[in-house]
Each structure stands twice: as C-alpha cells, then as structure tokens.
Amino acid sequence: MLEFDPKTIDRLAQIICDIGGPFERRGWELEALLRNAGWDSPPFYDGTSRTGWLSEAMKNADHASVERLVCRVCHPVEYEDGMESAEIMRQAINQALSLQGLTVSYVAGRPVMARLGSEGVVYTAPEELEPRLRAIIDDTATVDWLLERAEETRICEANGAYVFTLIGMGSFVEYLLYAFLLQWDPEISRKGFTHHSGKPINHVSLNLLIETAHAKGYIQLDRKDFMDKVRDYRNLVHLRHQSEKALRPDPLTVMMCWAPIRAVLTDLETAASSLSGRALA
C-alpha cells in the first residue's frame, strides 16, 4: 500500500481536528484519540495549533499507527450516535485518501483500510508487516518464521495458487495468535495452554487460539466470526474437504480473507499497546 503523502496527512489532520465544526476535538481529546487508536507513547498536546500538532505527530509515526488512527476516527464507538457520525467522518476521510488510491470501508461494522482498485475495494496482505510484527512479538526467530510464511503466501497469491494462499494465510494467523498469547497473556505465559482440568494441551488448534484471543478481549467478536471462515478454508489442505465443499477459491476469496486478518493484526497491536502500558503502570 502507498505511503501517506505529507499533503494527505495535512488534509487528514484538518478533518480529524475539525476546527469550528461539529466534530471538533480539543487538545486532550486528540491525545485520547491517539491512545484509543493504540499508539505506543503518543505525544502530549503542547498547546500549539491542534491541526499542525496532529499533522506533525502523524508524519513522525509509522504507517500502521496512522492507519489505526484513521480507522479509529471512522469507528462508531467514537461517537454518541454511533454509525451516523462515523459514516460522515468516513466519507470526509475517504475524500482525502482517494487521491492516493486508499479507502476505509466497514467489515462487519468495523473500519478497515484498503486499496482502491479498478474493480473497487481491494484487501491485501498487511503493509509494513516486519516492523509491525517485531513491535508485538519479541522473539526474533518467531517473527522470521511469520515473515517467511507471509512471503510464501504472497507468492502463491501472485501466481494464482489460491488454495495454497488460503492455507498459508491460516497457518500465518495461527502462529501469530499462538506467539502473541504466549508472550502477552499472563496466565498463558506462566502455565502455557491448558485444559479446564489444568492439564497441558499438546496441540493448540487454530480454533482454540481464535476462541481464546476473543475470550480474553484481544480480538473483537466480528474478527472471531470471520476468522472462523479463514480457519475453515485453511482445511482445504485436505483435498477431500475441498471436494466435498466443491469450492474453487479465486482472487475475491483471498481478498475477503485478508480483510479479517488485517483487522486481527490491528486488534493485537492495540491490545499489546494497552498491555504494555498496564505493565509499566
């Protein structure tokens, strides 16, 4: 996905601050917005021009942080009347993003950034994946394995091997959730994955990882629901399973699966930022 042009950042800052408008945000509200968007150690508002301050903060941030901020501004939870105001902001945001071929759309009621293609919205693999993974997973070897699997998945997608693309996507998110839970969840970090009886689980399934991540509040309900479909498609590794479903994946199938994976990664980044702040406190 394209990097944000400085002019696009300036336009986005004006829209988000909305000076004199119905969605105007004061300095402390901008600080809260950055925190709610999962920014790690967001800057303190210094009393200068709010638009200039926010624009500078966004230009100093990485792509993933700006993406989370933009999506947060379009999130219904930000507004008293929910989707009504969120949709107004999304339309304004998308007008600025359209000059760069980007857009924010809703997946199960939640905002996700995507690329605008000739046929409309296009969801792809997450951008800036390496720095994003290294920010939430400490183990270097684990991140390397994840990056290797993501690259193999992209190769399959680029060459039309869509069944193996879906298999790669499922295995990528499986190891991502596994590594995240082992690192960030206090109970799992101490005991590992266990049955209700307390006995260790030898094989941690993708289904258990998805259910656990949602139950502990690390991913939202709609992410869990859509990831269940990604999990099911991962089972296409069994040809009998595919033949029984009579499913022949195409580029749209892959695109629809990238959307929840992008959302899951964003949720995990937000959760890691919150957990990190809690640990420091």
Report the alpha-carbon distance of residue 223 to residue 220 in Å, rounded: 5
* pTM (predicted TM-score): 0.67
Q: Structural domain boundaries of the chain?
A: 6-122, 129-280
Whether residue 211 has pLDDT greater than 60:
yes
pLDDT digits (tens, 9 = 90+) for 37-76: 888 788 999 999 999 999 999 999 988 889 889 999 999 9
Element (H, E) at 113: strand 110-117
Highest mean pLDDT among 1-5, 38-42, 255-259: 255-259
Residue 17 scores a pLDDT above 90: yes
Structure confidence at residue 200 as a pLDDT band (50, 70, 90): confident
Q: Where are the alpha helices (DSSP H) in 98-139?
A: 129-136
Burial 97-121 (b: 16+ CB within 10 A, else e): beebebbbbbbeebbbbbebeeeeb
Average pLDDT, the chain: 88
Residue identified by tokens 């071929």 is 101
pLDDT at position 120: 66
Where does the pLDDT of residue 223 fall: very low under 50, low under 70, confident under 90, or very high at 90 and above? confident
Name the percent of the chain lying above pLDDT 90: 49
220: how many CB neighbours lie within 10 A of its CB? 18
